[in-house]
Every structure is written in C-alpha cells, then in structure tokens.
Amino acid sequence: MISVKINRTHYIEDINADMKGQEVILGGWVEDLRKMGKMTFLTLRDVTGITQIILTDDVMKSIDDITRQSVVRVTGKIQDTKARDFECEIKADEINVLAKAVHPLPIDPLGRLESHIDNRLNSRALDMRNQKTASIFKIRHHVLASLRKIFIEKKFTEITTPKIIGSASEGGANLFSLDYFGKQAYLAQSPQLYKEQMTIGLERVFEIASFYRAEKSHTGRHLSEFTSVDIEAAFMDYTDVMNVLEDLVLNTFKYVSENCKKEQEIIGNKITMPNGPFKKITYSQALEELNRKDAKLEFGDDLLDSHLRIIEENHPDFYFITDWPIKLKPFYIMEKEDNPELSESFDLQYGYLELSSGGSRLHNPEKIKIRLSEQNLDPAKFSEHLQAFDWGMPPHAGWGLGLERLLTVILGIDNVREVILYPRDPERLKP
Amino acid sequence: MISVKINRTHYIEDINADMKGQEVILGGWVEDLRKMGKMTFLTLRDVTGITQIILTDDVMKSIDDITRQSVVRVTGKIQDTKARDFECEIKADEINVLAKAVHPLPIDPLGRLESHIDNRLNSRALDMRNQKTASIFKIRHHVLASLRKIFIEKKFTEITTPKIIGSASEGGANLFSLDYFGKQAYLAQSPQLYKEQMTIGLERVFEIASFYRAEKSHTGRHLSEFTSVDIEAAFMDYTDVMNVLEDLVLNTFKYVSENCKKEQEIIGNKITMPNGPFKKITYSQALEELNRKDAKLEFGDDLLDSHLRIIEENHPDFYFITDWPIKLKPFYIMEKEDNPELSESFDLQYGYLELSSGGSRLHNPEKIKIRLSEQNLDPAKFSEHLQAFDWGMPPHAGWGLGLERLLTVILGIDNVREVILYPRDPERLKP
C-alpha cells in the first residue's frame, strides 16, 4: 500500500466527452478488470458513477497485483471511447492501489449473486458497494431532507428530547433499562411526553431520532431501534395534524420521485405518486367491513394484523382509520366531545401496515389523572409531567411516524431491515 | 375549561395596522392583564410575538377568572392603538380560557425574576415561555438547518448509526451498559467505527444524533447525553476535513446571524462573525508557548484544561491544535508520514474549549491491529470492524463536533445545560 496524497480532481459523474484531453485524478473502486492484448480495461466506480480506464502494460507494471473492489487512484487524460456503455474514457498515466480488497469477498457487491439478507447485514459495509443498497440509503437521505423542509415551511421547530429517561413513561412495557450512575433508567420509546411539554413554549415541534422498543417481535416491520418522526402542535386538533401528515407524505413522494431518478432506476422501482386526499374510515366502519367478512368483532376489540390484512383487500393504498375506542388508546389521547367512548385519534395505514399513530391530546390534567388510573397507571409517577399542565398547556395534537416503515412503502420493499444501516432486533446486536 | 374548536386564523406576527377592521381568531398565553375603568387590557403572546387585546366588561364576564400564563382564544377585530409598544390592537368580541395556569408559578416565565438554572431545568416546559430560553432553542433549530444545508451542498449523505452496540468500541471506558434481550450491550459514545465503515460505499457521510458518555464530570461543558455532529469522508485527509469544519463553522455563524436577528436581540447577544482562516498551531508549538509560561511540559504530555486556559490568553478565538503525538490519539488515527511519533490529527478549539476532534484515519488493517495492541485493546474484539478493511476501505478522514459546545460559543453562554432541552448529567436524570 503506497502512501499518496489523493487530490482527487473530479467525481466520475463530472467528467464527459467535452473535456477531451484534460488531465484528471480519480479515486474509486475497481469494479471490473479485463486484459486484452497489451491493454488492461478497468471499470472504476465512485459514489457518483462508473467510467472506463485504459491502462498500458507499462502503467500496469508499476503495481504488483490488483483485485476487484480494491481502491485505486488514477491519473490520466480524458479521451473518446469505443465502449458503448461510456461517453468517454481515461487513458491512465499512473495508477496507485490505495487499499487492496481480499478475494473472494463474503458477498458479491455487484449483486449478480444474490445473498441472503443476513449475510448482507453481516457484511453491511461491503453491501453498501451494491448499487441497490447504496441507492436505498441515498433515497433515505433525500426523504429526511424532504421531511425537514416541509416541517420548517410549516413553522415547526426542531427539538431533541432525552433518550435516557428516569421513569417509565407511557406505562413501561417493552422498555430497555440501564444503570445510570447507580440509578435505574430507561431508553425512551418515543418523545411523547417531552414533545407535548414543548408545545407550551415552542407551539409546533418536530423530532427525527432513534427510539427503542424491547419487544420480542420477529416480523419484517419491527425493530428494537427505529427512527421515529414526531410532531406535536399547539392549537391543532387531530384533523389538523392528519392534514399535516397527509401533506408530508404526498410532498415527500413527490420530492423523492423528482430528486432520485437515478436511484429509482437502479433499485428498479419507479415511485408511484399516491392520490390525495387519503380516505378516512372510522374504526366503526372498519369493524363493519370486517364483520361483513365474518370477523365477528365487537366494539372495543383491537384490530389485529390478520384483520388489517382483510381491510387491505379493499384499501390497498394510504388511508386513515379514525375515531378509535378511547380504551384502546394511550392515556394522553382526548375523547370525542359527542361520544366519550370514542377518541380523537387516528392511524395512518398503507394497506395492512400501520405507519403512524396520533390524535388530539388531553390538556386538562384532571382528565389525564382519571385516564391514568383507568389504565392502572399511577398518576404520582407522572407528577413531573403533569405539573406542566398547570402552567398553561395549550390544546395540542400530534403523531409519530415510523421512518423505516414509510421508506419500505416509498421503495416497495417488504422488510424494514433493508432500509436501516445496522438493524437491531431480538437476535441482532452486531455488527 | 370550555371545549372550543380553535381555528386560529393568524399568528400574532402576521397581523398589522393595514388589516384594520378585519376579524381574526388568535390563540396564545396571557402575559399581562390590567383593568382600567370598564376595560381590561390583556397582552397576548404566541410563539411569533405579542399583541394587545381590549376587552369590555361585557366580554370579560363570560369567563369567571383568568390568571397570567393561561391559554386563551380571542376572537376580535383589528383596530388602531394608542399603546406605544404595539402597531395595532384587537378589540375582542369573545374570549375563551383554554387552559388555566396556576398562581403562583414555580419560576417567572417573563424572566424578570431570575431563577437558578436548576429551578429552570426542573420546570423546563415553563422555562420555554421565557423568551430568552425559547430564542436559544429557535437558534438551535437554525443551526441544525445550516449544518445540514452545508453537508448536503458538500455531497455528504446523512446516515443513522446504531446507538445500541454489542461491543465496547473505542476502548470501552465511560460506556453505559444495558441488558439487551439477555445480552450485554452498550450505548454508543460516537458513531466512529460505523461512520468509517460507511465511507466504503457512500464516500462522504454525516450524522447528527444523541450519543452517551458515562463520565462523572461536573463542569459547564460535559453532558452524559449530548448531540454529536459527525462526518467521515473517503479520499480526504485531515487538512481536507479541517477545511470542511472551518467552512461549516463560518457559514453557520453567518446563517444564524442573518436568520435569527429577533432571537439575538431577545437574548441580548449579537453574534460576532469569526475571522477565517482559523489559526493552526501544532501541538509542539502549543507546548513551546506553554513552556515559555513555565508549564514544564514534555513531548507526549496531554494538554489539560489548565494548560488550555493558558493558551486561550494568546488565542481567545477559534484555532486548530494539529499534529498531536500519536500515543495521545485513539487507535484509528493515522501517523504522520515524515514522523510516526506524530499524527495527522487536530482539535478545533475556541479559547480553552475543545469543540471538535478529528484526523486522517488508518485504512490499513495491519496497522490498526498494531495500534490496538499498543493501546492494550484486543484486536479480536474488533474483528467485525476490521473485516471491512479487507473489502476496499478507502483512505478517509473525519471529525466529531459537540453541538452543545458550538451553541454555547455562538450564543455567548457558558453552560451547555442552557442549550439542551432536558440535560442529563451524573446528578440529573429528570425531568
């Protein structure tokens, strides 16, 4: 391995036939290598694209040995090419091997040989040389940029809530616990209580961050560490925040479909724009639909995965299920004024998949205490949260959206492990 | 508490004298309340500003009682005002109390009575009604927007690395440990190893996220949960990433000073643009400066807080300390080619305060193994990380920047607890 200053002059996507004769320095990975006569044809890839390098035996002899996926630096001149796949090529004056890749590699980074997802995750860094995988994470980058752009336009302030929390908020099931300087602490499952508190001063807040759920689920849609997109807004109710969510989803599909054309092509999935406005069906309507198909559900029964898969038959796209029975919802959700058995709540579904859950929140502390007791939670354990409700807590509403689930819908992929770099689940803690 | 639909029509900053006669619905907090004759003068604040509401006794009698910092909804017409502080006022037709604040409040949200930071943090939600506190977090929001804007322009891809990790990377000191489905796990101190791995496919990556350090420090600059801004870039060395960092700092100061004029005024701290390029002094030069002031340091000694406070006397602003002894730096830092006792490393300082630390990284796995052993770390424990170095690991460099520390410099504040919503330190786990 020779030590050289890199001084890359161009990304591969920035060179073209108009630059004929210009000297460039490129850096990248050897994707393929063929010797024909006295010439070696090397295809070089960087993060932006791929090009062809022509090496004479004279130039090649300066390096002992080279393997596919090794990292090289190439100095050369742009010239016309006869190759059909390229617009131009580089006649190399010099090549340096900066890092040699072993042979064979544990997975095929070109994706010609398909590897099981577990093998790809075990070699995630190498998997990122697979253009499909890299494209997923480039799209994820654009999705995040789109979400934040829309939140900022809608006057939401970005916040960061604590992930290490001193008490088991929201009931305490499925929390990871840790020792915090001798005290018992937990990893936050959501920013729920903190984001509600913040509406008292910042009115509209959002957070995009990792949260933690110690749930022993083994499905393609559960993760122990996941990215949650959260908002909370003063002076809004559940209809208002459903509108924010619908806008966000529609605009993000639009943004990605316009800004990630190359990535969609590589993945082989053209993003199809959903139609707005999204359908809204109430919980009671969903129950009727299900009972017409012999589900034998009664008011108050939760909708299980099996039920949602039946509903998906009629509603394969985005839709809201609204007005859930209050007893199925967390203590902070507001009841409906005209029917306190129901709540101002919703889930955003894509077919059977729940993407988001939200609602109007209670802002009257007395009502919250009653709800806590009804759910066998001790109001005293929530005293630090509840005190904020005596300080002028505005009416507010909000939701949480699972980023990985949204990405699977945007990308047409059926496993959340494909859209998170290093997934964590009950079996997977490494790499 | 009356249940009313809010239907706010305007933010306070959006109403002005040109809208005279127009009916508006506002929502906000009662900042002050004075009865004069048959009129009540109420100052109403929302997240955007403050205005005056005029209420007749007739309108006032619809509500029993009202306290300062209660949340109200006001319907009324815009009219001219005689008050010097306002451009216009609202003659109320209706007022509803949406949430009543207790009296007295635990801290004065107007900040006229100063409260100790511990009391403010214990009532953080109410503290957010203090315009100085709210302005800090609005500026934080803009700083984040600026950082991401610059990273995106420089072709960095946003990543999210795992915060729950299966082995103690970087040595293992000061890690929080947790039980992960019966396995021992840790909270990540930084994204170091993961971000390095990602350069293999995405070349340039950044992450802004919460990380965790179980250090029993009690200073104004240490937190157990902090926000780290991280980059890692293929085909760059330490000089390149110092340039990225300098650009980022200068542009963020510029962005905030242009976009947060109102907030700077409220805080009472006008942001002063730093001058670029930042000075670079080597570790050896720093040692000389210190020894001229009788510090009696030898090559290889670390620079302690007390030393950095001496250096600050000559360098009160931003500057880099570069080329540290290799043995003072983590195992992944690259040695200098012309002197392997030194390293391609730097800290970005603001006076005595270390803001960022970075360098060129080793990309040769054999060298990393030697360095691990020299630092009494077991290479076998890093096997999952090291395997990526056999797959074509490019030369790369990067840094981590403490967001809270940067914010204290931008804002001219001396305690990181002021710039994080709910700080965590050895004593503070709540709220």
Which residues face A383 on adjacent strands?
none
The verdict on a CB contact (< 8 Å) between B430 and A388 is: no
Residues A302-316: pLDDT tens digits?
Answer: 999 999 999 999 999
Q: How far apart are CA A20 and CA A50, in angstroms?
A: 17
Q: Which two tokens stand for residue A253?
A: 């599909």
Nearest CA in chain A to B144: A158
Nearest to A230 by CA among A219, A218, A239, A241: A241
Question: Please, which residues bridge with residue A164 across strands?
Answer: A187
Contact B47, B61 (CB under 8 A): no
Partners of A325 in the β-ladder:
A342
Nearest CA in chain B to A169: B431
pLDDT (tens digit, 9 = 90+) per residue, A316-360? 999 999 999 999 999 999 999 999 999 999 999 999 999 999 999
Task: Answer for the pair A6, B395: CB distance below 8 angstroms, yes or no.
Answer: yes
Average pLDDT, chain A: 95
Compare A77 and A218 and report the one with higher pLDDT: A77
Those residues with Cβ within 8 angstroms of residue A155's Cβ, 6 or more apart along the chain or in another chain = A203, A204, B11, B47
Same domain, B133 and B62: no
Identify the band that residue A374 occupies on the pLDDT scale cut at 50, 70 and 90. Answer: very high
The CATH number for B220's domain is 3.30.930.10
Residue B389 lies in a domain: yes
At A30, the pLDDT band (50, 70, 90 cuts) reads: very high
Q: Is A144 on the interface with B (CB under 8 A)?
A: yes
Distance CA A48, CA A14 (A): 9
Boundary (domain end) residue, out of A99, A114, A147: A99
Residue ending a domain, among A99, A117, A139, is A99
CB A394 to CB B421 under 8 A? no
Taking Cα atoms as reference points, which of B315, B305, B312, B249 lies closest to residue B280? B315
Q: Kindly state whether residue B431 falls inside one of the protein's structural domains.
A: no
Is B209 an 8 Å CB contact of chain A?
yes
Which of B30, B147, B200, B428 would best serve as a mutation to test chain A binding (most A beta carbons within 10 A)?
B200
A113 found inside a domain: no
Is the pLDDT higher at B65 or at B156?
B156
Q: Considering the domain boundaries, does residue B3 fall inside one?
A: no
Question: How many CB atoms are closer than 10 A to CB B270?
Answer: 10
> Which has the minimum average pLDDT: A60-64, B36-40, B314-318, B360-364?
A60-64
Q: What is the mean pLDDT of residues A93-101?
A: 96
**What confidence score (pLDDT) does residue A111 get?**
84
Q: Are residues A89 and A159 in the same domain?
A: no
pLDDT tens digit sequence for B4-29: 678 899 999 999 999 999 999 999 99
In a domain, A429, yes or no: no
pLDDT of residue A303: 97
Tell me the three state secondary structure of residue A205.
strand
State whether A133 and A95 are in the same domain.
no
Q: Where are the alpha helices (DSSP H) in B302-391?
A: 305-314, 365-374, 383-386
What's the pLDDT band for B2 if we cut at 50, 70, 90?
very low
The pLDDT tens digits for B271-292 are 999 999 999 999 999 999 999 9
Based on the fold, state whether residues A180 and A323 are members of the same structural domain: yes
Distance CA A344, CA A398 (A): 11
* Buried/exposed code over A253-281 (b: 16+ C-beta within 10 A; e: otherwise): bebbeebbeebbebbebebeebeeebeeb
Q: Residue range B189-212: average pLDDT?
A: 97
Is there a single domain that holds both residue B184 and residue B76?
no
Q: Cα dist. B231→A379, B40, B209 in Å? A: 43, 56, 12
Cβ-proximal residues to A312 (8 Å cutoff; 6+ apart), any chain: A351, A352
Write the residue in B47, B102, B387 that is nearest to A203 by C-beta: B47
Q: Which residues, numbered 307 to 336 in chain B, qualify as contacts with chain A under a Cβ-Cβ cut-off of 8 Å?
A: none
User: Once rounded to an integer, what is the mean pLDDT over residues B296-317?
Assistant: 97
Clarify whether residues A243 and A312 are in a common domain. yes
| Max Cα-Cα span within chain A | 85
Residues A70 and A218 reside in one and the same domain? no
A390 — pLDDT class (breaks 50, 70, 90): very high
User: pLDDT band at A4, cuts 50/70/90?
Assistant: low
Q: Report the C-alpha gap between A283 and A302 in whole angstroms.
A: 10
Average pLDDT of chain B, as a whole number: 95
CA pair distance B186, B221, nearest whole angstrom: 23
Band (B3; pLDDT cuts 50, 70, 90): low
Whether residue B187 lies within 8 A of chain A, CB to CB, comes out as yes
Cβ neighbours around A231 below 10 Å, total: 28
Closest by CA position to B66, among listed B37, B36, B40: B40
Contact B395 A98 (CB under 8 A): yes
For B309-353, the pLDDT digits (tens) are 999 999 999 999 999 999 999 999 999 999 999 999 999 999 999
Q: Which two tokens stand for residue A3?
A: 């030590």
Comparing alpha-carbon positions, the chain A residue that sits nearest to B174 is A181
Indicate the SS3 state at residue A413. Answer: coil
> In the predicted model, what is the mean pLDDT of residues B58-86?
93
User: Considering the domain boundaries, does residue B107 fall inside one?
Assistant: no
Q: How far apart are CA B38 and CA B181, in angstroms?
A: 67
Q: What are the tokens at A171?
A: 């009931």
Percent of the residues in chain A that have a pLDDT greater than 90, as a whole number: 92
Clarify whether residues B291 and B401 are in a common domain. yes
Closest Cα in chain B, distance from residue A36 (Å) = 25
Contacts of A202 in chain B (CB under 8 A): 47, 128, 134, 137-138
Query: Structural domain tally of chain B?
Result: 2
Which of A56, A84, A99 is the C-terminal boundary of a domain? A99
Statement: residue A2 has pLDDT above 50? no
Closest by CA to B237, choosing from A206, A5, A222, A254, is A5
Q: State whether A213 and A272 are in the same domain.
A: yes
Query: 10 Å Cβ neighbour count for A381?
Result: 15
Within 10 A of A37 (CB to CB), how many other CB atoms are there?
6
Residues B202, B339: one domain? yes
Residue A171: band (very low, low, confident or very high) from pLDDT cuts 50, 70, 90: low
CA A108 to chain centroid: 25
- The boundaries of the domain holding residue A142 are 125-419
Banded pLDDT at B217 (limits 50, 70, 90): confident
Q: Please report whether residue B168 resides in a domain.
A: yes
Return the CATH number at B33. Answer: 2.40.50.140
**Spatial contact of B225 and B401, defined as CB atoms under 8 Å apart:** no
Q: Phi and psi at residue B213, in whole multiples of 5°?
A: -140, 120
Structure confidence at residue B1 (pLDDT): 41
3-class SS of residue B68? coil
Is residue A427 in a domain? Answer: no
The predicted-structure confidence for A243-283, as pLDDT tens digits, reads as follows 999 999 999 999 999 999 999 999 998 899 999 999 999 99
pLDDT of residue B170: 66
Answer whether B27 sits within 8 Å of A234, measured CB to CB: yes
CA distance A194 to B49: 23
**pLDDT exceeds cutoff 90 at B177:** yes
> How far away is chain B from the Cα of A329, in angstroms, using its nearest Cα?
20
Structure tokens at B403: 């967001």
**What pLDDT is recorded for position B17?**
94
User: Hey, what are A357's tokens?
Assistant: 């859950």
Contacts of B179 (CB under 8 A, 6+ apart): A176, A177, A178, B185
Q: Are B30 and B169 in the same domain?
A: no
Same domain? For B240 and B373 the reply is yes
Burial track B233-245 (b if 16+ CB lie within 10 A, e otherwise):
bbbbbbebbbebb
Judge whether residue A1 has pLDDT over 60.
no
